[in-house]
Structure 1
Amino acid sequence: MTENTAPVWFITGCSKGFGRELVKRVLARGWRVVATARNPAAIADLVAGHEDRALALALDVTRPEQIEASVAATMKRFGRIDVLVNNAGYGYAASVEEGDEAAIRTMFDTNLFGLAAVTRKVLPILRAQGGGAIVNLSSLAGLSGNAGTGYYAASKFAVEGLSDALAKEVEQFGIKVLLVEPGPFETEFTRSLASTASTLPAYAGSVATRIDQLLTSTNRPGDPVRAAEAIIAALTAAKTPHRLVLGAKALNDVRAKLDSMRRDFDTWEKVTLEADYPEARAPAR
């Protein structure tokens, strides 16, 4: 593979965590990468020494003019984008009852609307090229909500639904959509975690306790380096999965959620089927 044929990755949120490690792994394979962050100085070290294959750009995904400029700069430099990684995002912790409206909307602007805006800008390029891949960083929280992080889970559930629909829309163009669903990882997530402290006694044993655990726990078994390798492995596999769960806790929790859902479906099957008009009822599969 020559430099001119090496795939080009466009990655958001590269100052830390998965984004940062992905940039390193992509460069180690001789591929090309556009690393973006709100503060490009924070990622200058990533591209240092790789200026022939790497570009560091300023990108706040909530600012349309920066999305426009960064994609234009990528096309001017490399002429293509093969893999879009929507990694930029952060968490917000609060009980549903005590959530702050402004904080909730700000998080959604990044986690969902920013992701969608970048995707809309890159999709025409992928279609014109006849293929590519979009990687959307979701979370275990995108599959199973927990006390204290309901709004964060809602933002990631939205990413899941968007990605499911997107995958069906773009499969015909040879574009893959990979949802990545990590459990707890050492990604400095809690350092950027916004929160509204729970002050209602009713939530002292649930929300308040969990937020405190999120802010203070050091038990995060996930390795971002191995996560980055797993993402690359999934994308380069003969058949890329639509979902990639990362970490033992995530896998155990997801399986428990699926078991719980199936129990409800099976227990209430008769009531479920009887909700249709009698003449339209079909047996459950």
Structure 2
Amino acid sequence: MADPKVWLITGASRGMGIDIAHAALSAGHAVVATGRDARRVADALGEHDRLLAVALDVTDPASAERATAAAVERFGRIDVLVNNAGNFYAGYFETLSPEQVRAQMETNFFGPLNVTRAVLPVLRAQRSGQIITVTSTAGFVGGGFTSAYAASKHALEGWMESLAEEVAPFGIDTMSVEPGFFRTELLVEGSSTLWPELEIEDYAEGTAQTIEAWRGMHGTQVGDPAKLAAALVTLSDGGALPGRFIAGADAMAGIEQKQATVQQQIDAHRELSASLSHDA
């Protein structure tokens, strides 16, 4: 196995975070597992001598600083940061309140930024480390009823792609993970999924139909989160990370279709686009 590392994982009290923590522990690594309630994290993961459960609200920069300090105090270093915590404000744009859209960005976008800002000084001082951020297929492919969620994940994609160049000189590697539909708690309403606050008649039928369909999808998603967690550990232990890991057959299909569509759009107006330079 690879040399033992110290993993700091956000959103580790439920869903994919639990699977990632278990996979890292099984591979011989130490894990700092975080969530809003440290006791809930500990209850979810059980006892382990290489496990530290820490309270972390990703929307609170001071909380991220405290969690980082606790990790270093216990294990002396941090080698792998996994930005996994997130939620899903589902709904058509007009039916999501401004407060809901801002809350979506606070958790899914600014949350990873807060945690990474706290951890980066540790990684830079070590001149080594990995930053793994779980985005989504929605970080590449937008769709109806996901406007706020897709916006937050697209923002993460742009940030991670840019961050990669900034931290590479310090020996820090990065990877964005774009999962498709996995059998996690993302579609559990009231905890990970929140429905629209505003009612607009034009959207009423579509809203009702989409909510019913997604409620029926929960528990039947094709992706196995334990397999994805194991894959992330394999990639981390393998050395240089790929800039992106497209996770799942459905994710690959959706992103490949989007890339083909963009290429078609470029080709359709290639001459007009190329004509926009100043005349010589």
Could you state the TM-score of these two structures normalised by the residue count of structure 1?
0.91
SS of structure 2 residue aligned to 1:36 = strand
Residue of structure 2 in register with 1:264 after alignment: 265
1:59 and 1:66 in contact (8 A); partners too: yes
Structure 2: where are the runs of 5+ without partners?
A: none
Query: What is the distance in 1 between the residues matched to 2:123 and 2:240?
Result: 19
SS of structure 2 residue aligned to 1:177 = strand
Instruction: Indicate the larger mover: 95-104 or 75-84.
Output: 95-104
SS of structure 2 residue aligned to 1:115 = helix
1:50 to 48, 69, 73: 48
What residue identity is the alignment partner of 1:196? P
CA distance 1:207–1:263, change in 2 (3 Å): farther
Residue of structure 2 in register with 1:36 after alignment: 34
1:197 and 1:208 in contact (8 A); partners too: no
- The offset of 1:236, in angstroms, is 2.3
1:182 aligns to 2:179 (yes or no):
yes
1:232 aligns to 2:229 (yes or no):
no
Instruction: List per-residue Cα deviations over 1:224-275 (Å, max 9, x = no partner).
Output: 0001011112222344211111111111011100000000001111111111
Query: What is the distance in 1 between the residues matched to 2:162 and 2:29?
Result: 29
Instruction: List per-residue Cα deviations over 1:157-177 (Å, max 9, x = no partner).
Output: 000000000001111111111
1:96 to 93, 97, 109: 93
SS of structure 2 residue aligned to 1:119 = helix
Could you state the TM-score of these two structures normalised by the residue count of structure 2?
0.93
1:278 aligns to 2:276 (yes or no):
no
Instruction: Indicate the larger mover: 92-101 or 230-239.
Output: 230-239
Query: What is the distance in 2 between the residues matched to 1:198 and 1:263?
Result: 36
- The offset of 1:105, in angstroms, is 1.0
| Number of equivalent positions | 276
- The offset of 1:48, in angstroms, is 3.5
2:97 and 2:197 in contact (8 A); partners too: no
1:78 to 68, 75, 78: 75
- The offset of 1:187, in angstroms, is 0.7
1:163 aligns to 2:160 (yes or no):
yes
- The offset of 1:39, in angstroms, is 1.2
Residue of structure 2 in register with 1:209 after alignment: 209
SS of structure 2 residue aligned to 1:189 = coil
- The offset of 1:278, in angstroms, is 2.5
CA distance 1:174–1:127, change in 2 (3 Å): same
Query: What is the distance in 1 between the residues matched to 2:239 and 2:83?
Result: 22
2:38 and 2:55 in contact (8 A); partners too: yes
Query: What is the distance in 2 between the residues matched to 1:208 and 1:277?
Result: 51
Identity percentage of aligned residues: 39
SS of structure 1 residue aligned to 2:34 = strand
- The offset of 1:212, in angstroms, is 3.0
Structure 1: where are the runs of 5+ without partners?
A: 280-285
Residues 135-146 of structure 1 aligned to structure 2 (within 5 Å): 135-146=132-143
RMSD: 1.8
Query: What is the distance in 1 between the residues matched to 2:30 and 2:153?
Result: 28
Query: What is the distance in 1 between the residues matched to 2:265 and 2:29?
Result: 47
What residue identity is the alignment partner of 1:50? H
